[in-house]
Amino acid sequence: MLYVAAHRHGTVQDHVALVEIDLTGELMIAAAAASEDRLSPDRIDEVLHVAGEHGSPAGEQCAPVGERG
């Protein structure tokens, strides 16, 4: 008997995973371009387009990756 794996529809996407992959890529690019050994927390916030301690109040959400200005 031959077993054939079920075919998945090609347009199914995990949007959360795609955003995480994009953000990870942005961090990798920033780390590769950095002159120091590690990115500072402020630089990480800048790369990820989030406010640091002095930015937006806790709980305020940032725009999704595709909606950045």
- Return the higher-pLDDT residue of 53 and 62: 53
Tens-place pLDDT, residues 1-14: 666 666 666 666 78
Domain extent listing, the chain: 15-53
3: helix, strand or coil: coil
DSSP summary character for residue 2? -
Q: Are 48 and 68 in contact (CB under 8 A)?
A: no
Residues shown for the chain = 69
Please give the pLDDT value at position 31.
95
Cβ-count burial of 47 within 10 angstroms (0-12 exposed, 13-18 middle, 19+ buried)?
middle
**Least confidently predicted of 10-19, 28-37, 51-60:** 51-60
- pTM attached to this predicted model: 0.55
